[in-house]
Structure formats: structure tokens, C-alpha cells
């Protein structure tokens, strides 16, 4: 480690105004040009961004949208996903991934993750496929690519479309190719904290199949092919020119910023590898990681009893909202969770904890509490796996259905990482983790 860390420090997860400082004038200039142009929606900044990002990711075309969530919804809709279809996703992701399927009336079918990369486990995909499976969304979680060479032969064989959720992974590579250009389509998020973040919401759909562009373009803008002539229902999901202008300036810095994240990650690795109870993130062979998150594991010990949340198993949303899949026929969304639960464990290998307990997060929570009390903002992405979220309780899942995900949810801890993080800040974080593990 470098100099002795200061006795007390605040280490935020990121510092956007500071990160923007070297490009602030360029951003201001471009924003003023948009202001003075009078054209605020679907203009030249958005077009430029689409062309540049399609080229950057090696995709055929791109469509600038309001959010990553919309990119997932529009992407799935363009692929033909609708009521009664099934969409395979990992249960260890931000809810937007499965929510997109549900908004189209489809059912998310969860497949557990690999313990090292936190991404969908290709070996478990085939057993989750049914005649209704229409699409699969691999999530490149934390900025590490999913194992596409293992996934695509399975989906290609079975005629299942693949839409990458690359909200966290712009710039990451898989066997020399950027994510976003690896499958039929990909969804990007420009949420401000992302590696390429706007100063507001934004997203993009990248497409590698010619036939997706037309439906996606219609869906972005009320199904309108000519002003006030509508071929379908759609959304208002147009990225505004101000956000596109910000992103066009920030895109010039993306590779440099991703490089700085990777250097910071290597520094954490060098000083946290070997700390008892801590596992640092691994990078699979042939992949590069863009460290949207630098996520360690704090090993869990023992089990805690699972308490079903209030309203668990209710047919409708506990909040009473009839949205998305709740509008579909009961048949399309029957409470046949048992069918999906069956067969996850080989005969005779169902552990006694199944249905009752979850790995105990106490050790991770203690490390996080020590960091927080010391001024370090560490975060948990994500504390409750999707299959145990109240909203999906109709599917009848139980603890133990996705054991790798459940263990990850009890162990993950994301440390501050951003292009401007200093070695002194990292030394402080490392010192506080070492202090915390002594107490465990
Ligand atoms: C994995 C993942 N998917 C989808 C999204 C949704 O993106 P947005 O917030 O732009 O709608 C996010 C963003 O938080 C995400 O992290």
C-alpha cells in the first residue's frame, strides 16, 4: 500500500462533478449549441450517438431511448415477445431485466448464476427451456461479460432469441469482441452512475438483426411511421438532445475511464487477495471487465430462517397495481411455480434448508457496517434475489431454488470504484476491511 491512510476519510461510491471537470467546458458548449438550435428531440446529437455507439460495440444499428429499461422492453417486443411467452433471465440482477419481460406479458423464468462471474450459468439453461421459451437475457453483471460462447449454441439450436443486458458493461470484451455486438440485440443504460452515464435518464437498443430496426423505431415513438399515422401502439421513449450531447462528449473519455477503473480494481486485488474471508472478483479467461462495480464476497457462515414477506403468494401485486403481466390471462401466468421448481436438485440431494433458510449475511453486513461507520460507502447489489421478491411470489419460488444466487446475495459487497478514486482512498477502504475481518 502507498502512504499511511489518514485516520478518517469519507469515500463516496463515485464523484461525478469531479469526473466531469476536465470535459465540463466541452459539455457546456455542446449543451448551449443544443439550446440555441431549438431542436430538442430526435435530432443530430442523438443520431451521432447512435452511429458512434453502434460502431463502438460492433452492432449493425442503434436506437437512442429514454432508459435502459425501455431498451429491454422495446428490444424484447421487437423480438416478438408477448403474452404467455417465457423469457429466461438470471435471478441475480436489477429487476429491470425481468420487469421488461413482464411488461410485455411474458413470464420470467430464472436460471441460477455461476459463482465466480455472477452471470447466468450456461449449464443450467437447457433444463429451464419449455415450448414457450422465446428469449433469453444474459446480464453482463458488474461489467463482466456472460459466457456467450456457451450460451449462444444452446439458444441458436432451440430457436431462442438473445438480448444482452449490458447496462453495466459498456466497453467490456468477450474473446476480443465488445459486448453489445454478440447477439441479436443489446440494451444499454445511461443512468448517471453507469460507466457511460448521462446527466439524467437515457438508454439505447443495439441491434444486430436488420429486421429489428423498423419495429423498434416504431415502438420508440407511439408506433408512428409518419406524423400522426400509427401502425402500432408504442411508447414515448425518445432520448432528448441534451442527454445525447452530454453522452457524445463523455464517449470520448470512456476507454480512458474504463482503464482507470481497471487499474483501481487491480490495486484492490493486490491488497485484498488473501485477506481471510474475502474473495476478490475474478475475470474469466478471454474476457475484460469494466468494473462498473468492484464486488468482493465476504464469506457467509450458517443460515437464517426465511420469513415470507407480507402478501407473499397473492395473485396480484401486493400494491394492488395491475401492470404488465398482471393484465395477461390467468393461464399465461398461472401459479404453477411447482413445475418450475421441480428438478433443480437431483433426486435425494435436496438440502434440509430448502424452502426454509437462506445463507446468513451477518458477516458481510458487519463488514459493511464497519465501512459505513468509517465513512466508506459500500453497497449491496442485490440483497434480495428476484425469485424471492414479493412481486414474483406468484411463481411459487422458495429459498433454495437458486442456491448460488442466494449465497451471492448474502456475500456480495461493492466497494467504491470510479475513474477518480485515489490510492489514498483505496488504502483507507482496504485498511477498514482488514480491521473489520479481524472482528468477525
Ligand atoms: C442490469 C441492469 N439492467 C437494466 C437497468 C435499467 O436501466 P435504466 O435505469 O436506465 O432503466 C439497469 C440500471 O440500473 C441495470 O443495472
Buried b (16+ CB within 10 A) or exposed e, 236-245: ebbbbbbbbb
Under 8 Å CB-to-CB from 223, ≥6 apart: which residues? 230, 231, 232, 233, 234
Question: How far apart (Å, rounded) are the C-alpha atoms in residues 387 and 406?
Answer: 10
- If you average pLDDT over residues 5-29, what whole number do you get? 93
pLDDT band, residue 439 (cuts 50/70/90): confident
- Which residue segments constitute the domains of the chain, with CATH numbers given? 16-253 (3.40.640.10), 298-439 (3.90.1150.10)
Other C-beta atoms lying within 10 Å of the C-beta of residue 416? 23
Nearest-CA neighbor of 88 among 175, 2, 187, 165? 165
69, 144, 201: residue to mutate for ligand 1 pocket, most atoms within 8 A of CB: 69
| Single pTM value for the model | 0.95
Please name which of 380, 230, 396, 231 lies closest in space to residue 308, comparing C-alpha atoms. Answer: 396
Percent composition of the chain: helix, strand, coil (DSSP 3-state, to 5): 40, 15, 45
297 beta partners: 279, 412
Q: pLDDT tens digits, residue range 214-257?
A: 999 999 999 999 999 999 999 999 999 999 999 999 999 999 99
- What does the pLDDT look like over 160-187, one tens digit per residue? 999 999 999 999 999 999 999 999 999 9
Helices and strands in the chain: count of H runs, count of E runs: 13, 16
Which region among 267-276, 296-305, 308-317, 388-397 has the lowest average model confidence (pLDDT)?
Answer: 308-317
Q: What is the mean pLDDT of residues 6-24?
A: 93
Relative to the CA of 165, which ligand 1 atom is closest?
3
Atom of ligand 1 nearest to the CA of 139: 1
pLDDT (0 to 100) of residue 96: 98
**For 290-322, how does the pLDDT look when each residue is reduced to its tens digit (9 = 90+)?**
999 999 999 999 999 999 888 787 766 767 777
Q: How many angstroms separate the alpha carbon of residue 189 from the centre of ligand 1?
A: 6
CA of 93 from ligand 1 middle (Å) equals: 9
Residue having the nearest C-alpha atom to atom 12 of ligand 1: 167
pLDDT tens-digit series, residues 68-80: 999 999 999 999 9
Pocket of ligand 1 (CB under 6 A): 67-69, 93-94, 96-97, 139, 165, 167-168, 189, 191, 201, 203
Amino acid at each position: 500500500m502507498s502512504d499511511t491512510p489518514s485516520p478518517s476519510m469519507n469515500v463516496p461510491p463515485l464523484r461525478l462533478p469531479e469526473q466531469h471537470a476536465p470535459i465540463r467546458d466541452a459539455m457546456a458548449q455542446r449543451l448551449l449549441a443544443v439550446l440555441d438550435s431549438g431542436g430538442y428531440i430526435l435530432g443530430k446529437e442523438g443520431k451521432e450517438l447512435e452511429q458512434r455507439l453502434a460502431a463502438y460495440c460492433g452492432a449493425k444499428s442503434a436506437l437512442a431511448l429514454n432508459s435502459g429499461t425501455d431498451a429491454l422492453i422495446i428490444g424484447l417486443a421487437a423480438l416478438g415477445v408477448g403474452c404467455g411467452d417465457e423469457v429466461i433471465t438470471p435471478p441475480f440482477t436489477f429487476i429491470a431485466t425481468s420487469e421488461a419481460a413482464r411488461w410485455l406479458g411474458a413470464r420470467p423464468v430464472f436460471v441460477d448464476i455461476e459463482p465466480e462471474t455472477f452471470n447466468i450459468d450456461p449449464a443450467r439453461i437447457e433444463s429451464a427451456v419449455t415450448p414457450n421459451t422465446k428469449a433469453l437475457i444474459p446480464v453482463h453483471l458488474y461489467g463482466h461479460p456472460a459466457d456467450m460462447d456457451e450460451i449462444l449454441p444452446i439458444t441458436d439450436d432451440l430457436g431462442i432469441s438473445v438480448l444482452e443486458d449490458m447496462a453495466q458493461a459498456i466497453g467490456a470484451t468477450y474473446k476480443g469482441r465488445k459486448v453489445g455486438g454478440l447477439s441479436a440485440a443489446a440494451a444499454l443504460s445511461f443512468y448517471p452512475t453507469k460507466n457511460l452515464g448521462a446527466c439524467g435518464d437515457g438508454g439505447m437498443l443495439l441491434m444486430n438483426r436488420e429486421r429489428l430496426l423498423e419495429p423498434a423505431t416504431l415502438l420508440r415513438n407511439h408506433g408512428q411511421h409518419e406524423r400522426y399515422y400509427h401502425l402500432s401502439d408504442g411508447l414515448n421513449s425518445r432520448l432528448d438532445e441534451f442527454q445525447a450531447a452530454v453522452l457524445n462528449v463523455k464517449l470520448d473519455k470512456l476507454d480512458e475511464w474504463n482503464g482507470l477503473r481497471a487499474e483501481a480494481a487491480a490495486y484492490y486485488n493486490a491488497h485484498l487477495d488473501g485477506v481471510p474471508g474475502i474473495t476478490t472478483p475474478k475475470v474469466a479467461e478471454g474476457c475484460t471487465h469494466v468494473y462498473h462495480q468492484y464486488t468482493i464476497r465476504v464469506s457467509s457462515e450458517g443460515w437464517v430462517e426465511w420469513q415470507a414477506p407480507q402478501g407473499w403468494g397473492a395473485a396480484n401485486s401486493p400494491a394492488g397495481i395491475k401492470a404488465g403481466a398482471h393484465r395477461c390471462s390467468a393461464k399465461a401466468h398461472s401459479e404453477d411455480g411447482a413445475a418450475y421448481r421441480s428438478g433443480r436438485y437431483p433426486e435425494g440431494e435436496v438440502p434440509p434448508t430448502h424452502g426454509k433458510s437462506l445463507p446468513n449475511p451477518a458477516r458481510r453486513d458487519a463488514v459493511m457496517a464497519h465501512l459505513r461507520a468509517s465513512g466508506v460507502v459500500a453497497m449491496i447489489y442485490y440483497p434480495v434475489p428476484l425469485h424471492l421478491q414479493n412481486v414474483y411470489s406468484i411463481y411459487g419460488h422458495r429459498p433454495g431454488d437458486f442456491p448460488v444466487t442466494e449465497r451471492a446475495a448474502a456475500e456480495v459487497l461493492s466497494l467504491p470504484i470510479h475513474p477518480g478514486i485515489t490510492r489514498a482512498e483505496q488504502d483507507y477502504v482496504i485498511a477498514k476491511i482488514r480491521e473489520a475481518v479481524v472482528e468477525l
